Chains A and B, each alone.
Chain A
Amino acid sequence: MRNTKYDKIADHHKAKENRLGHFLAAFLSGGVVGALGEGTIEILCFFFSLSRSDASVFMITLFIFLACLLTAFGYFDKMVHFCRCGLIIPITGFAHSMMSSTLDYKEEGLIYGIGSNMFKLAGSVILYGVVSAWFFGLIRYVLEVVFG
């Protein structure tokens, strides 16, 4: 049952959040991750004579590997603590969610542990990512048909 008298008093003692600080941290760290990604692509294109699309695939794979490695060594969650969503929104966050689930359930075995829990957090991202990609593809197709 809701108690308005209680809610009023509880609202007095709400924790303060440093939203601006979090926003800036995420903005800067997200930018740094993006710049590192772009730098990696440039390096791969320049030194290994890869096409831009091939280089971006290698860059993404490299970032996924690094995020998984840092998660396994226990550093990634501490980095997220400072960088906030700057590390969660890029592909590093996706890799981190899968790796952390895998680590937690490894003792339950390959099937009931890792297999059934790996996508615990990432499953929603994949499902709604695919569904929204389909819709955006449809919108783009319609726009192309209409406006040539």
Chain B
Amino acid sequence: MTFSFQDVYIEDTATICGPYEKRGPFKKYFDKTYDDFSFGERSWEKAEIHLVKDALHMILKKTGYTKEEIDLVIGGDLLNQITASTYGSLGVGNGFIGIYGACSTSALGLIVASCLLQANYFQNSLCLVSSHNMSSEKQFRYPTEYGSLRPNSATFTATGAAVCMLTKNKRDVRIECATLGRIVDFDQKDVNDMGRVMAPSVLDTLTRHFEESGRTPQDYDLIVTGDLGIYGKEIVREYFLKNYQITLDHYDDCGVMLYHLASEKEIQAGGSGPVCSALVTYGYLYSLLKEKKMKRILLLATGALFSPVMVYQKQSIPSICHAVSLEAV
């Protein structure tokens, strides 16, 4: 399931983030940053919707398009019924597709949009993702103010919203090829070690990507995974070396890159959430490609298809990973 795209380009991106991401190394690549979590709203869900609206407003401002000129909006987030994307996208675009890929949504949106653009059904599309630390905590784990004790392998959901606008018009960066992920389950059950849960999907998608495209790690200036964290990242590196004798030299993880982990103890093993890989890719990596500092980057956005109900019913956590290759034109 590896496709190549001939004329799908990135028009521009918009990235909005919360306080922890602002303190991280990529502050200058974000379009707007916040110092608190509520943004003047009365609930965490409304705060996340606020982020989505902000990001959509920002992309329209940056590209000069009007709401009506947008052909398609593809959006996803972590909340039930993808609430933030649906409520936040109201009034923008002539079509909407809601997607759920957990934290892999950032790449899944790009793949779906690229396929539809390549097939000439649409001329442009907005790919939208968001996550909010507090709304995710409330839905998936404990109440936000609850002092839950977590092991060091736990990750921290990033707060923000990011939009990537794809177009058929020639621009500086293009979506060059993609590998659609499939659901992988290695019988992992630890909800506090998502790196370990999601690493198997990276192994599956990345090996298939190399096989189907005939490429090697050397074909990329950088390979980034979505949100495996410091431990999951090392699992992937060692697995590739031991089983395939492949050394991943230029390899990093967005969850590790997004924060100063040494000084931010609360982040623990790294960032997570759909917007984690999106902030790094649509913000920092996109600007590297645009400035021609890198030629080609492979994003492997990872998602744990985690349902608290199924975990309580003693079921394992499946994961998925979608790969997208971005290239400077």
Contact = CB atoms under 8 A, between A and B. Distances in A.
A107 B47 CA distance: 12
A4 B200 CA distance: 12
B147 A80 contact: yes
A3 B186 contact: yes
A96 B206 CA distance: 45
Interface string A1-44: 11101110110111111000000000000000000000000000
A104 interface: yes
A17 B185 CA distance: 26
A15 B153 contact: yes
Interface in A42-93: 71-72, 74, 76-81, 84-85, 87-88
Nearest to B265: A81
Contacts of A85: 149
Interface string B183-216: 0011100000100100110010000000000000
A107 B231 contact: no
The interface centre, meaning the residue of B145, B149, B186, B239 with most chain A CB atoms within 10 A of its CB, is B145
Contacts of A87: 147
B146 A101 contact: yes
Interface in B93-148: 138, 142-148
B314 interface: no
Interface in B148-189: 148-149, 151-153, 185-187
Contact of A13 (B46, B234, B243): B234
A121 B147 contact: no
B42 A107 contact: yes
B186 A103 contact: no
Contact of B235 (A9, A81, A84): A9
Contacts of B234: 12-13
A48 B224 CA distance: 66
Interface of B: 42-44, 46, 138, 142-149, 151-153, 185-187, 193, 196, 199-200, 203, 231-232, 234-235, 238-239, 242-243, 266, 269
9 contacts: A13-B234, A15-B151, A77-B146, A84-B149, A87-B147, A100-B143, A104-B138, A107-B43, A121-B142
